[in-house]
Structure 1
Amino acid sequence: MAAYTGPGRDTLSDVLDWAVVRGGAPSVAVQVQDGDGTWFDAAGTADAATGEARAPGERLHLGGISQAYTAATVLSLEAEGRLSLDDTVERWLPGALAGNGYDGSRVTVRHLLSHTSGLFSTGMALEVQRRYGTRAAFREHRYDVWRREDVLRLAVSEPPAGAPGERFWYSTGGYAFAAAIVEAATGNSFESEVDRAVVRPLGLTHTFVRHRADPGYWGPHPRLHSKMFFRDGVRPEDVTPDNWPSLLEDPALPPLDTTKANTSWAWGAANVVAPLDELIVFMDALITGDLLPEAQHRAMWATESTKGAHWLAHTAYGLGVYELTLSDGRTLRGCTGASTGAHALVLGTPDGRRTLAAHVANDYSGFPVFDRLLEAEFGAPGFAYDR
């Protein structure tokens, strides 16, 4: 891989050092692609026991960035005439989105991909909190395999957050329904359709979607660390989108190694593994329209404000992707993803000429690190949750 050092990159390297020395990150890696080539740098160790350094080409679980791969797959199927964004869930999955206040005949594929379906925040589901909310529960359930029908039931296990189309409300459950619709429309597995529609056309030789029982990486990867657990004794019934930070365990506790864990409960929303360079290739193709036909490209980037949704400030969400507005009015396009033990980010300029991807090997210092990286590279304002 070619190395590139140009204006601002020394500042990026300083941010990486800060992230490890003062920011609490075990390790962080960053890659930038622009007209001058590729620049990569990292700090910390991929594995503290061996002292191995972070390196280009590591396989990384992308968490919520996976939703962009799902959305791109659905849009490719629309371009092929296999389905429509305006199809209802009921058409493809009769009776699956029903009960508990839900009506699949009113929820469209577009609603699912834009987080405007009205589905509640799946990560706050009682069953998710019971299995993964505390250290002890995570250790017991980290390799649980969720069946497709279990994930769909989880997505409707609590009442709606709103009416279909009413507002943005982040819900990974919508992407479980989207994945199930991909299977219904094609007769193939969701994972194989992502490979056919996205991975192979872009030549992404080290990118894949984990199958249901697979917790692995298929290549070199850093160890991951989490302290994002609730205190022992916290009841899942008492956790809300507003109070969860106050219920977290003592931050002085050592992190738990979460490197391998099954993520099938977030099927369709969090199962893609890729290296930073291929993540940049993917995002550049979405930004510039190289992957999707014009109509589907426009649909993907037709955004809606996320203000007031307990999500990232200064953002507008499209279909699996978002735009971040900088302090000077410029925008970046991309995705952010979290998983148990890691944060990942990819953002680029709308002309596709400069893209940054980053990975932090824990889930409790990612956004402060991303704040500084974006400011160093783009002059962006800091990330903050929009309350």
Structure 2
Amino acid sequence: MPVLRALLVTPLVITLLGLGTASLPSEPHLTPAASYLPRLVVQGDAPAAALLVRTSASGAHDAYRSTGPGIRYADRFRAGSITKTFVAAVVLQLAHEGRLRLADPVDRFLPGLIRGHGNDGRRITLRALLSHTSGLYDYTDVPSAHPVSATAAIRTATDHRPATRLGRYAYSNTDYVVLGLIVQHVTGHGYATEIRRRIIAPLHLTGTSLPGARTTLPAPHGRAYAREAAGGGLSDVTDLDPRTAGAAGELISTLTDLNRFYSALLAGRLLAPVQLAALLNTAAAHGNYGLGIFPQRLSCGVTVWGHNGRIAGSYVRAAATRDGRHTLTYRIDTDTLADAGTLEPGLLEAEFCPA
């Protein structure tokens, strides 16, 4: 499953606190996934977990639950690779405006940037970047590399041969770092400015931001932890340099904002029909991935669309029905969820396929 790998760790060890539950006083009903949530702490070894479910366009029937201490409803947190869906939406809006085409090669905008060791920006299209079929090596696979600029991240990637052949799906954070530079070339503004103007402001995502070089989280926020090893201690990694993630994963958001974003995106409020169809077309990635979003088919036949995000101290998963009317976002305050291959599908099944 796509992730943005944990990039920075701060060596401050803490102890795991006790188990508890919390909900909003105005909550109108108990969401089916709520009973599953404590497993993320007990079985998944997360310090705390929270989820928010939206079942109406207005958010009038939002249902919130948290388990464990330290997570509150309004908290800001790092959303990692969910940034990619925002970037993809901006690129598709630019395509609708005729300012670029998905079939354009990278070299049309960034001539000569992707060269060497078998990498060639003349052959890689924007669609290949959006669908992770470019073959570009993932710069976060180099543990010693902590690039703080997009060009440095791309240079780290192109110092390696392609991870796979062009046209084959292989998730790579490098793809979206390149897209961030293309947005800047086309618009004259950084991708963060375009996301704010085109998505954050129109949807009133008041808890969502792109921090740039700011290492701290905006208030209110809890703490973020990295586990040193399975069963080991926790380190506080709340403060980190998000430039290492950039357009691949720097976003900060809230549960409410992410549900609102995916609901609006899938309902067609951000993209014209042609671009929305392109967003959800998984043919290029052989069913694994659309353009900045991926499907997950559940046992009851329902397919949910969304993305996950992992960055040091945070793991997030957002999922929604195709019409955007039913959305769920959950988060934990660490980047490691034990038994994630069982727990996450189980939580989605509980919500979207209730008995």
Q: Into which bin does the TM-score normalised by the smaller protein fall? A: 0.7 to 0.9
Provide the rounded CA distance (Å) in 1 between the counterparts of 2:129 and 2:196: 21
1:28 aligned residue = 49
1:205 lines up with 2:206 in the alignment: yes
- The answer as to whether partners of 2:132 and 2:172 remain within 8 angstroms in 1 is yes
Provide the rounded CA distance (Å) in 1 between the counterparts of 2:34 and 2:263: 23
1:358 lines up with 2:324 in the alignment: no
**RMSD, matched Cα:** 2.0
Number of aligned residue pairs: 325
1:311 aligned residue = none
Equivalent AA in structure 2 for residue 41 of structure 1: R
- The answer as to whether partners of 1:151 and 1:267 remain within 8 angstroms in 2 is no
Counterparts in 2 of 1:4 and 1:304: CA distance versus 1, 3 Å: farther
2:265 counterpart SS class: helix
- Identical amino acids, percent of aligned pairs: 33
5 Å matches for 1:140-159?
146-159=148-161
* Cα distance, 1:209 vs structure 2: 1.4
Q: List 4+ stretches of structure 1 deviating above 6 A.
A: none
5 Å matches for 1:1-387?
2-6=26-30, 9=31, 12-35=33-56, 37-46=61-70, 54-125=71-142, 129-130=143-144, 146-165=148-167, 167-211=168-212, 213-227=213-227, 250-304=229-283, 316-365=288-337, 367=340, 368-379=342-353
Counterparts in 2 of 1:145 and 1:96: CA distance versus 1, 3 Å: closer
- Structure 2 unaligned spans of 5+: 1-23
1:359 counterpart SS class: strand
Per-residue CA distance 1:170-216 (angstroms, 9 max, x = gap): 000010100000011111122101111211121212211121x1122
Equivalent AA in structure 2 for residue 114 of structure 1: S
- Structure 1 unaligned spans of 5+: 47-53, 132-143, 230-249, 308-314, 381-387
- The answer as to whether partners of 1:67 and 1:268 remain within 8 angstroms in 2 is yes
Per-residue CA distance 1:33-60 (angstroms, 9 max, x = gap): 00471100101111xxxxxxx2212112
With a CA cutoff of 8 Å and minimum separation of 6, indicate the structure with the bigger relative contact order: 2
1:193 counterpart SS class: helix
1:163 counterpart SS class: coil
1:32 counterpart SS class: strand
* Cα distance, 1:153 vs structure 2: 0.9
Per-residue CA distance 1:262-290 (angstroms, 9 max, x = gap): 12122211011111111011101121211
- The answer as to whether partners of 2:267 and 2:324 remain within 8 angstroms in 1 is yes
Provide the rounded CA distance (Å) in 1 between the counterparts of 2:277 and 2:160: 33
2:198 counterpart SS class: helix
2:232 counterpart SS class: coil
Provide the rounded CA distance (Å) in 2 between the counterparts of 1:306 and 1:361: 31
* Cα distance, 1:145 vs structure 2: 6.5
**TM-score, normalised on structure 2?**
0.86
Provide the rounded CA distance (Å) in 2 between the counterparts of 1:181 and 1:153: 16
1:316 counterpart SS class: coil
Equivalent AA in structure 2 for residue 274 of structure 1: S
Which stretch of structure 1 is more off in the superposition, 261-270 or 360-369? 360-369
- The answer as to whether partners of 2:133 and 2:284 remain within 8 angstroms in 1 is no
Equivalent AA in structure 1 for residue 44 of structure 2: G
Per-residue CA distance 1:228-285 (angstroms, 9 max, x = gap): x6xxxxxxxxxxxxxxxxxxxx423202111111121222110111111110111011
2:300 counterpart SS class: coil
Equivalent AA in structure 2 for residue 164 of structure 1: L
